[in-house]
Amino acid sequence: MVERVYLAKPRGFCAGVVMAIRAVEKAAKAFDGDLVIYHQIVHNETVVERLEKAHHVHFVEDLEEIETLQKRHRLAGTIVFSAHGIPPAIREKAARMGLVQIDATCPLVTKVHTEARRYAQMGYTILLIGDSADHQEVRGTLGEAPDHTILVAVHTQVGKDPRLKDPYTVEVPDPEKVVVLTQTTLSVDDTDKTIAILKKRFPKLVTPPRSDLCYATKNRQDEVKRIAPMVDLFLVLSSRHSSNGLRLFELASGLTRAVRIDTPADLREAWFEGVRRVGITSAASTPEDLVQGTIRWLRERWPDLEVIEEGEWEQIAFREPTPTRPEEILQAQ
């Protein structure tokens, strides 16, 4: 019988996700015709489905898809770039296609792009720690300085993606000029350890003054660490492509029994046999109504359930992006 739920706080939407979703909703209303969005605006299936339904937006993984879309839909001639960021080559290609651009890249990802350009200009080799060479954020940062960047795996993930080097064996052309940057949504502890391994191998390794791991990643992981010792089962609401959500799930799994669910529809009564205390958290791209739906599902079965929610909400907001004309993009190249 479930008696108590510990609800993580903060959880769910971060400032970057709020900004990106608002940017799409606003642009969909403002522009005449359907919007095209490059990549899933945020890594959550429910968010993507709701935007498609409510605003007739189209998600593409390749700019070439736009030509096919144009044959079946009336497009607005505008493209929105997702919160994960894009390589500059995509920005330029979209401008050459004459598309107005709304760049919803999270400012904390843009910060890493700026660091990549700066260190590449100074002749540094960038060791970029990421969870997959296919992750949109990794592609975007790599695209800022492809000739200066080496992708490195988190030390616990070595071998999972052969395109990412092992931190214990990676080589650089000049160990005196090497900097480490990271994807924003990795495991805090594993990333710290990976940087320590690199620092031991390259004592002159430069680390950015402020960690590239974002505040939302750190805060959500801290909450999982606080709650996990108190619960028999941790429910992590996250889509399977959400990097920060999967890190929450891995962290919770290492501390107690954990299950990842997309929505409350995935819940199974059998999981709760002998379970008295349940933890709940959600990824930075998971809508809050899915968390509330999960609590409702539990209350329907155990009406006396007590919900404990401590902690603080974050007070961070990012400015929404404004449209940029293709000429402006090309002039700035």
Catalytic residues: 137
Least distance from C-beta 22 to ligand SF4, angstroms?
13
Closest CB to ligand SF4 among residues 44, 194: 44
Query: What is residue 155's three-state secondary structure?
Result: helix
Least distance from C-beta 284 to ligand SF4, angstroms?
4
Q: Which two tokens stand for residue 188?
A: 């805090």
Closest CB to ligand SF4 among residues 147, 312: 312
Residue 11: C-alpha distances to residues 131, 133, 185, 295 (Å): 22, 27, 14, 14
Distance CA 67, CA 98 (A): 12
Q: Which of 319, 322, 318, 331 is nearest to 102 (CA)?
A: 322
Least distance from C-beta 144 to ligand SF4, angstroms?
16
Site residues, ligand SF4 (CB under 6 A):
14-17, 83, 106, 108-109, 184-185, 214, 216-217, 244, 284
Helix and strand counts by DSSP (H, E) for the chain? 11, 12
Cα Rg, the chain, nearest whole Å: 21
Closest CB to ligand SF4 among residues 78, 217: 217
Least distance from C-beta 269 to ligand SF4, angstroms?
32
Closest CB to ligand SF4 among residues 35, 109: 109
Closest CB to ligand SF4 among residues 80, 233: 80
> Which residue type sits at 170?
V
In the chain, beta strands by DSSP E = 4-7, 34-38, 58-60, 75-81, 100-103, 125-130, 149-153, 178-182, 233-237, 257-261, 277-282, 306-308
92 contacts: CB under 8 Å, gap ≥ 6: 329, 330, 333
Half-sphere CA count of 82, side-chain side, radius 13 A: 25
Q: Label residue 237 exposed, middle or buried (CB < 10 Å: 0-12, 13-18, 19+).
A: buried
Distance CA 193, CA 4 (A): 34
Least distance from C-beta 41 to ligand SF4, angstroms?
10
Q: At what angle do helices 188-201 and 215-227 cross, to 10 degrees?
A: 120
Least distance from C-beta 289 to ligand SF4, angstroms?
19
Instruction: Give the residue nearest to ligand SF4 (CB).
Output: 16
Closest CB to ligand SF4 among residues 125, 187: 187
